[in-house]
């Protein structure tokens, strides 16, 4: 039956989608463009230059930003690695160890950091470290990051494991592999894309966190977001835009990586 | 954030049955110690007495909640009246988060619908385009928004140079700026669940309605939207909940008049001027609101599935 229009389409929806993408990208593009501005002012365009990138690495504030970047990097690597290991083990127990009483509770516990508003987690963690008289510093940031990275690492890992049929390991065990061997030699390699995606997402989440870090960091300890926040409080400066653009590039590269790795279908790799 | 679906999944085998305690132990210890226990201790702290240099005295007190809800005059000896300051801040936060949610829905629904009706091979790319900005540092996105919106910024410059406006719009430091900031922060959260719902929607229903002479927009309103309602509600929750407790958007884009819960809580823990039990109590009230919202949502979606 012929209709004058396609029912799946509505006029204006494409325009709104384009508007949506423009809204999502415009602020980022504008900042990236202005980070190449050859002017100490953030308003007037005076031609292309890399001076603010040079400033980030050699300027008067470069020491501060280098320390902050180093802290951010070390914390993100350590937190993401730990969270990924914990999440992989937990996913195996939730998906491949039968039904048991604490299963639902465990899933709830793993999702808990996603349900609690970030500012509440920040307050609770600060109070916790205060109550046990744990001195604030890089260690407190790291511990807090490990906890809230777990659900982010868990999601792609669990999704991947759900796509791998249990028959592979069973076949291995029928051929006299031990459970440990089946896990290490069969399940783990098949899981790798999920594990890598989980690690990358956890890494970005840790690298991006401001609120929780701001609460639990000790005096004088900065990560990149807290250092940027401190600088922005005194006004947006061009060197901040250069740092932001660098961080933006890191995030986008890592997400793209995670997307390409995570997209590979387990069924296609035989 | 309604993580049950994302972190659930059904049991696939019993292979590692004996090892399950060992496998789960690291997660239990880490999350129990660093997420659950802190929330319990926060609850206790909200019932303690404040110490003046920041911190607490271990003495039971209802002072924090009393200060939140009641005004007893300057010396605390007048008959209690309802204290509207903090309730007002909560109310404003709800209103701001609500406005940001509606804005996200107006843009997010058509976007999600459009993406879900693309040929299958293109969809992943569209979804990827929508999600990238979420992975960019929230602080950087908020600062970028401020850079774009400020009076001397590119938006006002552009609009003035094409003669649409004669003076800057003055958006920064208003409620609108905060709403735009929140909207911008969480827009991808609106698109994704609606997209997932529309993708599962059976378009034969639209055909049937149309064959029975339903006009085009009536099909959308009476058939499509009710069918994808769970996705819409999930999207609204995913935008509303983080907006409610957000700190960066109101702090960077707003001014004194746009004070929200996040800033109120943050202030209690900054330096020596703070009031830890009060901050803990405000956090408890926020957490309670969010958990009630999530529980209502979970019950609703279970009912719709049944």
DSSP, collapsed to helix, strand or coil, labels residue B8 as coil
Question: CA-CA distance, B255 to B173, in Å (whole number)?
Answer: 4
CB half-sphere exposure, B162, CA atoms < 13 A: 6
State whether B42 and A127 contact (CB < 8 Å).
Answer: yes
Nearest residue of A to residue B208, measured between CA atoms: A7
pLDDT: which is higher, A49 or B280: B280
| Chain A residues whose beta carbon lies within 8 Å of the beta carbon of residue B188 | 24
In this predicted structure, the answer to whether residue A77 has a pLDDT above a threshold of 90 is yes
Nearest CA in chain A to B188: A24
Best mutation site among A68, A83, A117, A235 for testing chain B: the one with the most B CBs within 10 Å? Answer: A117
d(CA A135, CA A219): 10
Instruction: Kindly report which listed range (A123-127, B70-74, B106-110, B249-253) carries the lowest average pLDDT score.
Output: B70-74
What is the model's pLDDT at position B236?
Answer: 93
pLDDT of residue B71: 82
The DSSP H or E segment spanning B56 is: strand B56-60
**Mean pLDDT (chain B, rounded):** 86
pLDDT at site B173: 82
- The arithmetic mean of pLDDT across residues B292-301, rounded, is 86
Top pLDDT among B63 and B4 is at B63
- The pLDDT value recorded for residue B277 is 92
Residue of B nearest to A229 (CA): B139
Residue B284 confidence (pLDDT): 95
Size of interface A-B (CB pairs under 8 A): 319
Nearest one of A140, A213, A128, A127 to B276, comparing CA atoms: A127
Chain B closest CA to A38's CA: distance in Å? Answer: 16
pLDDT at residue A264, rounded to an integer: 62
Q: Is it the case that residue A270 has pLDDT exceeding 60?
A: no
Portion of chain A with pLDDT greater than 90, in percent: 43
How far apart are the CA of A20 and the nearest CA of chain B, in angstroms?
6
pLDDT in tens, B144-162: 988 888 887 788 877 888 8
A219 — pLDDT class (breaks 50, 70, 90): confident
pLDDT of residue B3: 38
CB spacing of A13 vs B26 below 8 angstroms = no
Distance CA A257, CA A247 (A): 15
* Local confidence band at B5 (pLDDT 50, 70, 90 cut-offs): very low
CA distances from A239 to A19, A58, A243 (A): 29, 11, 6
Enter the tokens of residue B12: 């696939």
Sorted by where each begins, the domain ranges of chain B are 84-268
Give the pLDDT confidence score for residue A4 in this predicted structure.
Answer: 65
B240 interaction partners in chain A (CB closer than 8 Å): none
Mean pLDDT, range A84-102, rounded to an integer:
92
Among chain B residues, CA nearest to A25? B133
Q: Does B214 touch chain A (CB under 8 A)?
A: no
pLDDT above 70 as % of chain B:
95
List B residues 31-90 in contact with A (Cβ-Cβ < 8 A).
31-32, 34-39, 41-42, 45, 55
- The reported pLDDT for the residue numbered B2 is 37
Q: Does B182 touch chain A (CB under 8 A)?
A: no
Contacts of B69 (CB under 8 A, 6+ apart): B82, B83, B86, B87
Cβ neighbours of residue B261 under 8 Å, at least 6 residues apart? A119, B89, B90, B93, B244, B245, B282, B286
Structure confidence at residue B306 (pLDDT)? 63
Interchain CB distance below 8 Å, B279 and A124? no
Residue B295: pLDDT above 50?
A: yes
How much is the pLDDT for A110? Answer: 93
> What kind of fold does domain B84-268 have according to CATH?
MetI-like fold (1.10.3720)
Per-residue model confidence as pLDDT tens digits over B94-145 = 999 999 999 999 999 999 999 999 998 888 889 888 888 888 888 999 999 8
Q: Which chain A residues touch B54 with a CB distance below 8 Å?
A: none
Contacts of A128 in chain B (CB under 8 A): 34, 37-38, 41-42
Which chain B residue has the Cα nearest residue A242?
A: B140
d(CA B110, CA B6): 24
CB contact under 8 Å between B107 and A86, yes or no, is: no
Task: Indicate whether A41 pLDDT > 70.
Answer: yes
pLDDT band at A263 (very low <50, low <70, confident <90, very high): low
B72/chain A closest Cα distance in angstroms: 27
- Among B27, B124, B191, the residue with its CB nearest the CB of A90 is B27
Calculate the average pLDDT of chain A: 88
Which chain A residues are Cβ-neighbours of B244 within 8 angstroms?
A: 117
CA distance A68 to chain B (A): 15
Q: How many CB atoms lie within 10 A of CB B133?
A: 24
In angstroms, rounded to a whole number, what is the distance separating the alpha carbons of residues B241 and B291? 10
**Closest to B36 (Cβ–Cβ): which among A3, A112, A255?**
A112
Contact B3 A1 (CB under 8 A): no
Cβ–Cβ gap A128/B38 under 8 Å: yes
Which one of B15, B111, B191 has the shortest CB-CB distance to A169? B15
Whose tokens are 């204290």? That residue is B83
pLDDT at B53 over 90: no
| pLDDT over threshold 90, residue B30 | yes
- Does the beta-carbon distance from A120 to B42 stay under 8 Å? yes
Say how far apart CA A191 and CA A266 lie, in whole Å: 9
Select, from the ranges A31-40, A68-77, B122-131, B294-303, the one with the highest average predicted confidence (pLDDT): A68-77
pLDDT at A3: 61
Segment A248-254 mean pLDDT: 87
């Amino acid at each position: 039956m012929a209709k004058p229009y396609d029912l799946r389409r509505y006029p204006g929806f494409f325009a709104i989608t384009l508007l949506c993408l423009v809204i999502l990208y415009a602020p980022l593009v504008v900042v990236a463009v202005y980070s190449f501005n050859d002017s100490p002012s953030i308003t007037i365009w005076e031609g292309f230059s890399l001076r603010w990138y040079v400033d980030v690495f050699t300027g008067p504030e470069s020491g501060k930003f280098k320390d902050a970047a180093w802290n951010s990097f070390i914390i993100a690597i350590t937190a993401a690695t730990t969270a990924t290991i914990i999440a992989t083990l937990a996913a195996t127990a939730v998906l491949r160890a039968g039904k048991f009483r604490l299963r639902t509770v465990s899933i709830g516990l793993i999702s808990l950091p996603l349900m609690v508003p970030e500012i509440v987690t920040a307050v609770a963690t600060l109070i916790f470290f205060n109550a046990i008289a744990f001195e604030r510093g890089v260690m407190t940031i790291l511990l807090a990051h490990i906890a809230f990275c777990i659900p982010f690492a868990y999601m792609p890992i669990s999704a991947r494991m759900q796509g791998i049929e249990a028959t592979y390991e069973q076949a291995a065990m029928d051929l006299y592999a031990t459970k440990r061997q089946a896990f290490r030699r069969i399940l783990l390699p098949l899981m790798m894309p999920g594990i890598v995606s989980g690690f990358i997402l956890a890494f970005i989440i840790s690298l991006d966190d401001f609120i929780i870090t701001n609460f639990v960091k000790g005096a004088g300890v900065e990560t990149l977001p807290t250092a940027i926040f401190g600088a922005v409080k005194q006004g947006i400066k061009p060197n901040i835009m250069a740092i932001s653009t660098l961080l933006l590039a890191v995030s986008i590269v890592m997400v793209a990586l995670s997307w390409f790795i995570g997209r590979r279908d387990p069924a296609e790799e035989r | 954030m309604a993580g049950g679906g994302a972190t659930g999944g059904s049991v696939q085998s019993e292979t590692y049955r004996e090892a399950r305690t060992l496998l789960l132990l690291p997660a239990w210890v880490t999350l129990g110690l660093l997420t659950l226990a802190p929330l319990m201790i926060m609850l206790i702290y909200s019932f303690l007495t404040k110490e003046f240099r920041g911190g607490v005295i271990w003495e039971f007190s209802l002072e924090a909640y009393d200060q939140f809800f009641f005004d007893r005059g300057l010396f605390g000896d007048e008959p209690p009246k309802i204290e509207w300051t903090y309730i007002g801040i909560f109310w404003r936060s709800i209103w701001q988060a609500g406005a940001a949610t509606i804005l996200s829905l107006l843009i997010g629904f058509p976007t999600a619908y459009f993406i879900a009706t693309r040929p299958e091979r293109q969809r992943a790319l569209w979804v990827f385009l929508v999600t990238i900005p979420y992975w960019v540092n929230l602080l950087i996105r908020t600062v970028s928004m401020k850079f774009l919106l400020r009076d001397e910024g590119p938006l006002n410059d552009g609009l003035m140079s094409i003669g649409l406006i004669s003076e800057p719009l003055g958006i920064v430091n208003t409620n609108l700026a905060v709403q735009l900031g929140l909207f911008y922060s969480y827009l991808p959260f609106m698109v994704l669940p609606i997209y997932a719902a529309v993708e599962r929607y059976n378009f034969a229903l639209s055909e049937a309605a149309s064959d029975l002479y339903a006009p085009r927009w009536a099909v959308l309103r009476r058939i499509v939207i009710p069918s994808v309602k769970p996705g819409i509600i999930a999207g609204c929750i995913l935008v509303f909940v983080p907006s409610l407790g957000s700190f960066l958007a109101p702090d960077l884009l707003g001014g004194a008049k746009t004070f929200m819960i996040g800033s109120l809580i943050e202030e209690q823990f900054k330096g020596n001027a703070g009031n830890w039990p009060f901050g803990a109590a405000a956090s408890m009230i926020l957490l309670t609101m969010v958990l009630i919202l999530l529980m209502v949502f979970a019950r609703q979606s279970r009912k719709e599935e049944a």
